[in-house]
Amino acid sequence: AAQRRPSVAPKRPPGKRSASTDAPRAKRAKQRPCPFPNKLASMVGDAANAEMLRWHKKSRTLEVKKSHPALSALLGRNFASSSFESFARQLNYYGFSRSKDNSDNWRNVDSNLADADAIRWLPRRCVDRRSGGGSRLKPWAAASAAGSNR
């Protein structure tokens, strides 16, 4: 088996720097949103789905009309399951919980969601089953959420 030599960056004369080497590595990496919140933001942004899914800027809540007859078909087109329960579970994974005043409204624990497009960048939370439940950020998601300026 041939051994690979580690790549060595060419030395640059002092005083000559490029912007790509000065920026932190995390900033240079292409950031891609997670699939579920990315699809959710696309669905909310589509005017054809306004009767079923709507983002309220003032209250910063997501309204999901569970009783709408076409909702399961919309979920089936965009996700692996057309079940509302599965959709609600995914919402919970990304920090949404039902509002106490209205069961159709979902509020996110991150109150900085100014618009529906910000949903794309929500980190997924995972359940810590060892400690009896509770939701927490995955270690990699916590680091990116703390250091991002979205």
Q: What is the pTM (predicted TM-score) of this model?
A: 0.65
pLDDT of residue 24: 45
Question: What DSSP letter does each residue of the chain carry, written as one string?
Answer: -PPPPPP-PPP--TT---HHHHS-HHHHSPP---HHHHHHHHHHH-GGGTTTEEEETTTTEEEE-TT-TTHHHHHHHHSS---HHHHHHHHHHTTEEE-SS-TTEEEES-TT--SGGGGGGPPPEEE-GGGT--EEE-HHHHHHHHH---
User: In the prediction, which pLDDT does 150 show?
Assistant: 44
From first to last of the 150 residues of the chain, give the pLDDT tens digit. 566 665 555 555 555 554 544 444 444 346 778 899 999 999 999 999 999 999 998 888 999 999 999 999 999 999 999 999 999 999 999 999 998 877 799 998 876 788 888 888 888 887 666 655 555 555 545 544 555 444
